[in-house]
């Protein structure tokens, strides 16, 4: 398409009164010129010529800075916008070193297999340019992941100079078999960790331990690689990279790349029920806006917040475009999400690059820097959970155009509506920080097992200084044995195969279509997700096709489905039970107290809803009979003691309304907390107990939804004041009259006690925070009075020590 087509559409949107009524903010980012540097003086002639052949006569300033730092063996983290040439920032110094010293090896780690495949294509093109420029020998690039055939894996180990992989394969395939990788590891000089902002929470904590295992093995073989990390915008890139890698890092965060003009729109769909505050849904609005773009020839990506939504929106678009005479007006739209087979993913990615796919509806699987061609517009179907993700997703548009359009469509969730009410928060520099906890006891114990399997551990190990602490515990359980002061793996099992870096369980359930005896594998899913998405009688959506689950065989990790034609999809309802295992410190919060605890959470998908396509109305329920999942985690328990401001504010509410108020507070806090903690709403769980059997007072549990916890409970306690203020603002500023999903949560009219739950929540939070403010003011006044007294005493003493005649001090002091 021509750039002018998008510019014309932007002008039409500005003059569209109905559209503009929903615009909460429209940010126009002007074009930015590039900052260029000459190619490095020591660059080999074939690299210089290869770059020139690709139309790169100069480097951006950040690329030149990265080249110099990496060549000087300085571990580096590069933080620049999408499509700013971060790949060349590390490729150039690494290729230069390999050309100088062919025995050099480099390991590239990407968080997804799709990104690995994309980066190999990019690297192969550059290597081919080197050959065309007269390089004496071909640089050997190999991909080593779960889709790599065994014959290619052998070649990667033996001859690969640059091996492209992912943390999962390093964890389960490379390090446990390091004797087969001796030649590679002995000469490993560079490790690239791309999209380092993705390494947070459970995945980041696992990866931090994994990198320490890699460095430990490298040290054993006499290698000490330089690390290069790349990241999107994040509040603490150097700190995050240093926590993941365990080394000091040089930070490069000023981009020299030019940027085209960008339009970023925050759009709040129109209300369809003002009394209940219900807005037009994200699927319908995403379909409507994407259809408007696609039919104008504007290549578009739509980001959906779940697998179901990705399939729904793609299906709605294809239904709207359906025309057998024009082949859907020549427009091809595909869904893209986790669980697709490798061949399906590659086909969609190739179609986007080659232009045969004009629109794609994706989960955050395409949020990362995969080359998917020249997309012009991005639609974000709901706030993705962090400001970094907003800019990462918006950055997928405009890679090959001088103008780009991004539209964030708000849902009814508290987080979405808070962003609409505070657009500057979203559109300003990201305040979020990435958090990893390498010392998480569950994660640490897993990697101590793996490290002992790879090489015997001894107390005071450089990379696992707590080896003795964990070693003694694991020796008692029988998986390690201690001999001559060192810990050896003693179990018959292979530890890495039972440890997943990304989820609580490592087992995947294979989804098999057995319609009319086919027995064809169409997808896969982790076991926990399978219980909530492919339970018996569930409707499974896959690339526009509809299947009904006949059987979920968890023991053999198989799910059998058959083709289906019904007018609804399904969504599971999950119930939870809590048990406090151990208590830790008590922290003071604004007007309340919080207790940190170890918590056992039992969860079970008990029922499911049948939801009609397009209207999304509930058309029935069904029962689910599957075993419970158990999780041991950390929680921050908000306690409403009678003498606290929070407790007094709660007691002022009618007893029959108190359970609803506490439940809605949990909804609010869980909804707005991700704005201040770099996590997703799904990373947090909440549960209220108006008569808590453990503490004996009303309690609200806010817990990590990952085994062992990832520090989110502790972070909630540390920033509780800010989170509470954000929650109060959300209730105060909501446009509904009596409460809605955007402020106090979903209302169940059958169980409703308070006629105006929003008003009750406003009174509760206002009384709580006002009482705390008064208490604080009293402390401040006392502090002020004491300070005034101290100043009076000081001034009086000073007057006695100064001579009235000349102002000089009397005495020797």
Q: Give the span between the Cα atoms of 685 and 703, in whole angstroms.
A: 5
Q: Which DSSP category does 365 fall into? A: G
Mean of pLDDT values over 713-726 = 85
Domain ranges of the chain: 3-28+261-427, 36-252, 441-498, 508-566, 587-605+621-769
State the pLDDT at residue 57.
94
Give yes or no for residue 264 having a pLDDT over 60: yes
State the pLDDT at residue 791.
45
The percentage of the chain sitting over the pLDDT mark of 70, rounded to a whole number, equals 89
State the pLDDT at residue 546.
93
Q: What is the pLDDT of residues 61-96, one digit of tens each?
A: 999 999 999 999 999 999 988 778 899 999 999 999
Q: Find the length of the chain.
A: 813
Q: What is the 3-state secondary structure (H, E, C) of 675-719?
A: HHCCCCHHHEEEEEECCCCCCCCCEEEEEECCCCCCCHHHHHHHC
Nearest residue to 704 (alpha-carbon basis) of 718, 714, 694: 714
Better-scored residue on pLDDT, 559 or 133: 559
Mean of pLDDT values over 262-281 = 86
Q: What is the pLDDT of residues 352-367, one digit of tens each?
A: 888 899 999 999 888 7
Strands 188-193 and 568-589 come out as: unpaired
**Helices vs strands, H then E, count in the chain:** 25, 31
Dihedral-angle region of residue 615 (phi above 0 means left; psi in -120 to 50 means alpha; beta otherwise) = alpha
Mean of pLDDT values over 242-261 = 93
Average pLDDT, the chain: 85
Nearest residue to 396 (alpha-carbon basis) of 381, 375, 382: 375
Mean of pLDDT values over 386-399 = 82
Tell me the two tokens of residue 86.
């971060």
State the pLDDT at residue 526.
84
Q: Give the span between the Cα atoms of 57 and 201, in whole angstroms.
A: 41
For the segment(s) 36-252, the CATH number from 3.40.50.720, 3.40.190.10, 3.40.50.300, 3.40.190.170 is: 3.40.50.300
State the pLDDT at residue 809.
30
State the pLDDT at residue 705.
83
State the pLDDT at residue 202.
74
Give yes or no for residue 113 having a pLDDT over 80: no
- Architecture of the domain defined by 508-566: Beta Barrel (2.40)
Q: What is the pLDDT of residues 754-780, one digit of tens each?
A: 778 888 888 899 889 886 655 554 444
Equal CATH topology for 36-252 and 508-566:
no
Burial-class residue 258 by CB neighbours within 10 Å (0-12, 13-18, 19+). middle
Signed CA dihedral, 295, 298, 302, 308: sign only: positive
| HSE of 257, CA atoms in CB hemisphere, 13 A | 19
Better-scored residue on pLDDT, 133 or 698: 698
- H/E stretch holding 243 reads helix 237-245
Give yes or no for residue 804 having a pLDDT over 50: no
Structure-derived torsion over alpha carbons of residues 661, 662, 665, 667, reported in degrees to the nearest 10: -100
**Packing angle of the helix pair 467-477, 441-454 (nearest 10 deg):** 80
Where helices occur in 278-422 by DSSP H, the ranges are 282-294, 307-321, 342-354, 387-394, 414-421
Give yes or no for residue 813 having a pLDDT over 60: no
State the pLDDT at residue 583.
93
Give yes or no for residue 493 having a pLDDT over 70: yes
Range name among 22-31, 105-114, 561-570 with the lowest pLDDT average: 105-114
Mean of pLDDT values over 120-127 = 80
Q: What is the pLDDT of residues 135-189, one digit of tens each?
A: 556 789 999 987 788 888 888 999 999 999 999 999 999 999 999 999 999 999 9
- H/E stretch holding 253 reads none
Give long-range contacts, CB 8 A cutoff, 24+ apart: 174-181.
174/144, 175/210, 175/213, 175/214, 175/217, 175/450, 175/454, 175/496, 176/450, 176/453, 176/454, 176/494, 176/495, 176/496, 178/217, 178/454, 181/157
Q: Give the span between the Cα atoms of 357 and 331, in whole angstroms.
A: 7
Contact 210, 447 (CB under 8 A): yes
The pLDDT confidence band at residue 733, using thresholds 50, 70 and 90, is confident
Contact 591, 768 (CB under 8 A): yes
State the pLDDT at residue 17.
95
The pLDDT confidence band at residue 437, using thresholds 50, 70 and 90, is confident
State the pLDDT at residue 680.
64
- H/E stretch holding 404 reads strand 403-409
Q: Give the span between the Cα atoms of 12 and 758, in whole angstroms.
A: 38
Mean of pLDDT values over 10-27 = 95
Give yes or no for residue 285 having a pLDDT over 60: yes
State the pLDDT at residue 790.
45
State the pLDDT at residue 671.
80
The pLDDT confidence band at residue 581, using thresholds 50, 70 and 90, is very high
Mean of pLDDT values over 205-227 = 97
The pLDDT confidence band at residue 349, using thresholds 50, 70 and 90, is confident
Residues forming a β-bridge with 565:
none
Q: What is the CATH number of domain 3-28+261-427?
A: 3.40.50.300
Contact 436, 205 (CB under 8 A): yes
The pLDDT confidence band at residue 739, using thresholds 50, 70 and 90, is confident
Dihedral-angle region of residue 194 (phi above 0 means left; psi in -120 to 50 means alpha; beta otherwise) = beta
Q: What is the pLDDT of residues 662-709, one digit of tens each?
A: 988 988 888 888 777 756 667 788 888 888 999 999 999 999 887 777
The pLDDT confidence band at residue 229, using thresholds 50, 70 and 90, is very high
Q: What is the pLDDT of residues 520-557, one digit of tens each?
A: 999 998 888 899 999 999 999 999 899 999 999 999 99
The pLDDT confidence band at residue 424, using thresholds 50, 70 and 90, is confident
- H/E stretch holding 383 reads none
The pLDDT confidence band at residue 449, using thresholds 50, 70 and 90, is very high
Give yes or no for residue 718 having a pLDDT over 90: no
Q: Give the span between the Cα atoms of 418 and 220, in whole angstroms.
A: 51
Q: Give the span between the Cα atoms of 400 and 259, in whole angstroms.
A: 10
Better-scored residue on pLDDT, 195 or 213: 213
Q: Which DSSP category does 173 fall into? A: I
């Amino acid at each position: 398409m021509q750039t002018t087509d998008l510019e014309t559409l932007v002008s039409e949107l500005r003059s569209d009164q109905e559209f503009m009524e929903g615009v909460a903010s429209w940010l126009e980012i002007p074009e930015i010129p590039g900052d260029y540097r000459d190619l490095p003086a020591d660059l080999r002639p074939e690299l210089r010529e290869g770059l020139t052949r690709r139309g790169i006569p100069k480097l951006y300033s950040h690329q030149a800075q990265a080249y110099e730092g990496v060549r000087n063996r300085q571990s580096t983290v590069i933080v620049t916008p999408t499509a700013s040439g971060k790949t060349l920032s590390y490729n150039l110094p690494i290729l230069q070193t390999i050309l100088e010293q062919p025995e050099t090896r480099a390991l590239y780690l990407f968080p997804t297999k799709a990104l690995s495949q994309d980066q190999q294509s990019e690297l192969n093109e550059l290597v081919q340019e080197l050959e065309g420029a007269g390089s004496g020998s071909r640089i050997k690039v190999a991909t080593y992941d779960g889709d790599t055939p065994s014959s290619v894996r052998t070649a990667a180990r033996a001859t690969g100079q640059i091996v492209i992989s992912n943390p999962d394969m390093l964890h389960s395939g490379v390090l446990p078999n390091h004797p087969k990788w001796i030649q590679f590891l002995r000469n490993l000089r560079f490790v690239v960790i791309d999209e380092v902002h993705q390494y947070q929470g459970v995945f980041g904590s696992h990866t931090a331990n994994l990198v320490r295992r890699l460095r430990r093995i490298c040290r054993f073989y006499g290698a000490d690689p330089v690390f290069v990390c790349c990241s999107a915008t994040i509040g603490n890139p150097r700190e995050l990279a240093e926590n993941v890698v365990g080394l000091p890092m040089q930070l490069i965060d000023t981009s020299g790349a030019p940027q085209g003009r960008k339009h970023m729109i925050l759009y709040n769909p129109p209300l369809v029920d003002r009394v209940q505050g219900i807005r037009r849904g994200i699927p319908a609005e995403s379909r409507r806006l994407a259809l408007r773009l696609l039919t104008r020839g504007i290549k578009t990506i739509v980001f959906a917040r779940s697998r179901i939504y990705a399939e729904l929106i793609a299906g709605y678009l294809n239904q709207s475009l359906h025309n057998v005479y024009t082949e859907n007006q020549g427009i091809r739209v595909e869904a893209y999400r986790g669980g697709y087979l490798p061949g399906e993913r590659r086909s969609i990615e190739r179609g986007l690059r080659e232009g045969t796919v004009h629109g794609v509806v994706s989960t955050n699987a395409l949020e990362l820097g995969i080359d998917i061609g020249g997309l012009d517009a991005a639609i974000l179907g709901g706030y993705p959970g962090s400001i970094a993700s907003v800019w990462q997703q918006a950055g997928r548009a405009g890679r090959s155009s001088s103008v780009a359009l991004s539209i964030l469509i708000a849902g009814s969730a508290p987080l979405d509506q808070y962003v609409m009410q505070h657009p500057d928060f979203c559109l300003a520099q990201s305040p979020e920080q990435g958090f990893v906890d390498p010392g998480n006891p569950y994660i640490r114990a897993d990697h101590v097992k793996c490290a002992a399997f790879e090489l015997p551990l001894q107390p005071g190990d450089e990379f696992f200084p707590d080896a003795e602490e964990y070693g003694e515990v694991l020796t008692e359980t029988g998986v390690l044995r201690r001999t001559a002061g060192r810990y050896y793996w003693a179990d018959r099992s292979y530890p890495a195969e039972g440890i997943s870096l990304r989820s609580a369980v490592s087992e995947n359930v294979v989804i098999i279509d057995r319609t009319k005896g086919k027995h064809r594998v169409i997808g896969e899913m982790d076991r926990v997700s399978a219980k909530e998405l492919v339970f018996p009688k569930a409707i499974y959506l896959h690339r526009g096709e509809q299947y009904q689950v006949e059987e979920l065989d968890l023991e053999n990790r198989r799910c059998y489905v058959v083709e289906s034609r019904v007018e609804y999809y399904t969504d599971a309802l999950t119930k939870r039970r809590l048990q406090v295992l151990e208590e830790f410190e008590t922290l003071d919060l604004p007007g309340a107290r919080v207790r940190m605890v170890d918590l056992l959470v039992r969860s079970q998908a008990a029922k499911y809803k049948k939801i009609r396509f397009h209207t999304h109305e509930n058309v029935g329920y069904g029962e689910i009979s599957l075993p419970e999942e158990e999780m041991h985690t950390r929680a921050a328990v908000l306690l409403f003691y009678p003498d606290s401001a929070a407790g007094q504010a709660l007691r002022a509410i009618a007893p029959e309304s108190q359970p609803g108020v506490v439940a809605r507070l949990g909804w609010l806090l869980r909804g707005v907390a991700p704005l201040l903690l770099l996590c997703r709403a799904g990373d947090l769980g909440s549960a209220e107990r108006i008569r808590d059997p453990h503490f004996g007072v009303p309690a609200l549990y806010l817990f990590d939804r990952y085994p062992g916890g990832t520090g989110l409970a502790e972070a909630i306690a540390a920033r509780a004041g800010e989170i509470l203020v954000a929650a109060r603002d959300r209730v105060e500023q909501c446009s509904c009259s009596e409460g809605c999903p955007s402020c106090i949560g979903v209302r169940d009219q059958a169980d409703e006690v308070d006629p105006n739950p929003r008003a009750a929540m406003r009174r509760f939070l206002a009384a709580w925070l006002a009482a705390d403010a008064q208490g604080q003011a009293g402390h401040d006044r006392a502090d002020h009075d004491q300070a005034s007294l101290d100043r009076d005493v000081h001034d009086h003493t000073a007057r006695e020590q100064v001579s009235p005649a000349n102002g000089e001090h009397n005495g020797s002091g």
